Each structure stands twice: as C-alpha cells, then as structure tokens.
C-alpha cells in the first residue's frame, strides 16, 4: 500500500541525489551558523588552554594535556556533525526510536555500579583510558528527535496541525522517563534543561496553550516537591542558598560564585589579555575549564570578548530559529525549536551562574566548556540543523 512515508523517503532520496557534487553541498550549507559555531569552538579551545596550562595538579606537568584532549573532542564532534548531514533527515528520523531507547538505557546505567561519581553527582560512565561520557548530554538530542518524530507521524497520519491530547501525553512521557533518571543522579541543571526542551518542543508542535500552561504549572509544583521532599543533596541546597544570599559563607559554598564575579569584574572593557588573567593564572576559580569557562573570557578578554561570545551564541540561535521557520515540515520545525530551547537555556544558565544571576548547576557552556559529551552533543545539533536547512532549500527549489 502506498503511504506518506514511502512518498517522503522517495522524494528525499531524489533530492539528495542532486547533491552528489561536494561543492554543491558546501554552497548550500548555512554558513553563518557554521562559522559562528566554529568561532565559539575556537575561542573555547583558547580559554580551556588558558585555564588549564598552569594546573600541574590536573595535567601532570603537561600544559597541553587538556588542550589536546579538547582538540580531540572537537574533531570527533565535527565528524559527527558531518555524518549527520551526510545521512540526511529521513534516516535520522527513522532511527529516532532506536536512538531514544539506547540513550535512556545509558542514562539508567549511570544509576548502577557502572556509573561513576564526580563532584557529588553520579553522572558519568567510564569507558577506559581516562575517558568518560555523560549520557544526560546525549539524551537531550535523542529526546528532541523522538518527540519530533512522534508529533510529525501523528500529524501526517491524522492530517491535522494540532496534536491530540493523547499525542501530547505520549510526548511528555518520552521526555519524562529519562528526566526521572537524571533527577535521581541527582543533576538539577540537566533536569531543568530537559523541562525547557519539552516546553519548547510542545510549543513548536502546535499543542494547545492549555498544555503549555499545564507543563509550566507542573514544573513549578515539581520544583516545590523536590525542594520539600528532600530529593536534593546537601551541596545542591547549599548552592541554592548561596545564590539567594551571595554573602552566605563566602569562603565555603559561596566561594565559586564570588571568585567568578571577581574574575569577570577584573576584566573591565578589554580584559587583562589572553593567558594573563590573575584570577585564572592564580587558580582562584574552581572548575574554570568546565562550569566556569565564561569567567576566563570575562577576565582575559573583557566585556568586548565576552560580548563577542554572546553575539556568536546569538547568531547560532538566530539561524536555528530561521531554520525552524523555513523547515517546510513539522518534524524539521520541532527538531530545530527543541535545539534552540536547549542551547538558549543552557547558555543563559551557564553565563548567569558566573554572573551571579542564576544558581550554580554544573551545566557546560555550549561549544566552549571542556567536555567530550557536551561537545559531541552540540555539534550533532549543528549537523541536525544543517540537515534540516539543506532539505528545506532543496524542497524550495523542487
């Protein structure tokens, strides 16, 4: 029997055959998006090197230790992005259920003896050779793809723009299952990120605003339940207390945020110069190459350099929104919108905690923070956006 899926697959194969020439593919990429992402990644590499080159306690005396590992992560991320563009939207959409199940299983494994604990949270799986990955970073991509595939399939089958209540509930379950595992690790930052992704995807899917308001209300109620139910560890409660009262225990729980603000404030307009930041070279800011990478930019590159980072992140989000608008199908729109929600929230939270306007949660700054899992995830996201962009341009020309 002839189905819409058969039609979609055949049409996509025909369109992608037109891109057999490599230069034709390169010309059709969204270059502002790609260049902005590459610019952020290059800046991040310089900042990671600045934050770690003097940390003999972490590097074993090799100032290039973290830089080389970071460069390896970047290379893998770029390869993953190219692979996503090469295989195309249709194959990724068809593989969404399998990718989702695999990512949920890995997220659940973190709670078993397989998982390892870092800084009070059991978030990692060791893979040997000193390498580890964080499934909660990769599960965000899988959840976006699975929710988008569900909404698109129901819309195509029912020939309607607004998803039914049953479809919305199914989509929320897709997001909810891994979110529960993430909360149990416990990882409050990633939990909030998953909630924001679900909200963004629901909004882009055309769900009735009652569902949107209901999700917001449920999120607030859930936050109160987590707070009152003792589901947070003591260090997380201390972080929230320090955020609410910056003067609380400046040598203890408030130390990170106080030192972060001092570093950023010391940068002034143009900064102290790359590799010349007193707070950075003096190693006063903990976790500076990961959670607090923005403080290196604020101190050594100043307001101008930090502003450039914000501007480049803005370009990434702007292009992603344009791709969502011009996608040409619900699946592409929802995937792009989910990515925008994820990157926007994570960027704001990370920079906000360095500035003291958001609680410390441990979320990395996209494209800049050291960490393979985060780098792989954000470059897969770029690959997905480019794939959606290429398909929309081909459809517009056909």
Q: How does pLDDT run across 80-90, given as a tens digit for each residue?
A: 999 999 998 88
Question: Which of helix, strand or coil describes residue 378?
Answer: helix
What's the whole-number mean pLDDT along residues 149-155? 92
Distance CA 143, CA 195 (A): 11
CA separation (Å) from 218 to 58, 164, 200, 214, 215?
42, 19, 15, 6, 5
What's the whole-number mean pLDDT along residues 322-332? 92
| Spatial contact of 257 and 242, defined as CB atoms under 8 Å apart | yes
How would you classify the pairing of strands 115-118 and 121-128?
antiparallel
Long-range CB pairs of 88-91, under 8 A, 24+ apart, other chains included: 88/12, 88/16, 88/387, 88/391, 89/12, 89/331, 89/332, 89/387, 89/388, 89/391, 90/8, 90/9, 90/12, 90/13
Question: Which of helix, strand or coil describes residue 370?
Answer: coil
Q: How does pLDDT run across 303-320, given as a tens digit for each residue?
A: 999 999 999 999 999 999
pLDDT given at position 300: 95
Whether residue 2 has pLDDT greater than 50: no
Per-residue tokens: 328: 């040409």
pLDDT band at 120 (very low <50, low <70, confident <90, very high): low
Q: Which of 245, 123, 232 is nearest to 188 (CA)?
A: 232
Whether residue 134 has pLDDT greater than 70: yes
Distance CA 340, CA 317 (A): 6
Q: How does pLDDT run across 354-385, given as a tens digit for each residue?
A: 888 888 888 999 999 998 899 999 999 999 99
Q: Which residues of 199-225 are buried (b: 16+ CB within 10 A; e: fewer)?
A: bbbbbbbebeeebeeebeeebeebeee
Distance CA 76, CA 16 (A): 24
HSE (side-chain half, CA atoms, 13 Å) at 190? 29
Domain regions of the chain by residue span: 39-397
| Spatial contact of 288 and 297, defined as CB atoms under 8 Å apart | no
Q: Which of 186, 174, 209, 189 is nearest to 338 (CA)?
A: 174
CA 158 distance to own-chain centroid: 32
DSSP string, 91-150: HHHHHHHHHHHHHHHHHHHTTSTTEEEETTEEEEEEEETTEEE-HHHHHHHHHHHHHHHH
Whether residue 146 has pLDDT greater than 80: yes
Q: Is the peptide bond before 186 cis (omega within 30 degrees of 0)?
A: yes
pTM, two decimals, is: 0.89
The answer for 88, left when phi > 0, alpha when psi is -120 to 50, beta otherwise, is left
Distance CA 295, CA 354 (A): 7
Question: Rg (Cα) of the chain, in Å, rounded?
Answer: 21
């Amino acid at each position: 029997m002839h189905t819409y899926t058969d039609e979609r697959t055949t049409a996509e194969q025909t369109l992608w055959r037109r891109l057999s020439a490599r230069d034709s593919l390169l010309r059709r990429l969204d270059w502002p998006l790609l260049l902005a992402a590459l610019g952020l990644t290059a800046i991040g590499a310089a900042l990671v090197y600045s934050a770690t080159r003097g940390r003999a306690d972490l590097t074993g005396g090799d100032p290039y230790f973290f830089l080389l590992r970071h460069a390896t992560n970047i290379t893998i991320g770029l390869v993953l992005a190219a692979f996503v563009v090469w295989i195309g939207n249709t194959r990724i959409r068809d593989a969404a259920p399998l990718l989702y199940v695999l990512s949920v299983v890995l997220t659940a494994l973190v709670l078993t003896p397989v998982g390892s604990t870092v800084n009070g949270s059991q978030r990692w799986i060791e893979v040997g050779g000193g390498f580890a990955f964080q499934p909660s970073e990769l599960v965000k991509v899988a959840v976006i793809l699975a929710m988008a595939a569900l909404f698109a399939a129901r819309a195509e089958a029912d020939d309607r723009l607004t998803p039914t209540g049953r479809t919305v509930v199914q989509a929320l379950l897709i997001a909810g299952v891994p979110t529960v595992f993430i909360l149990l690790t416990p990882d409050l930052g990633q939990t909030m990120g998953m909630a924001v992704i679900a909200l963004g995807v629901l909004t882009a899917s055309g769900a009735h605003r009652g569902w949107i308001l209901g999700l917001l209300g449920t999120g607030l109620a859930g936050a109160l339940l987590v707070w009152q139910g003792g589901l947070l560890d003591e260090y997380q409660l201390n972080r929230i207390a320090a955020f609410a009262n910056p003067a609380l225990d400046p040598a203890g729980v408030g130390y990170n945020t106080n030192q972060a603000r001092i570093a950023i404030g010391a940068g002034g307009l143009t900064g102290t110069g790359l590799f010349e930041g007193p707070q950075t070279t003096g190693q006063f800011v903990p976790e500076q190459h990961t959670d607090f990478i923005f403080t290196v930019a604020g101190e050594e590159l100043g307001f101008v350099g930090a502003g450039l980072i914000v501007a480049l992140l803005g370009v990434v989000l702007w292009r992603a929104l344009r791709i969502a608008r011009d996608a040409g199908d619900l699946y592409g729109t929802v995937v792009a919108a989910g990515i925008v929600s994820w990157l926007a929230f994570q960027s704001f939270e990370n920079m906000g905690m360095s500035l003291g306007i958001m609680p410390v949660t441990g979320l990395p700054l996209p494209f800049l923070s050291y960490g393979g899992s985060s780098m792989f995830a954000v470059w897969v996201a770029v690959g997905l956006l480019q794939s959606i962009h290429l398909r929309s341009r081909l459809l517009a020309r056909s």
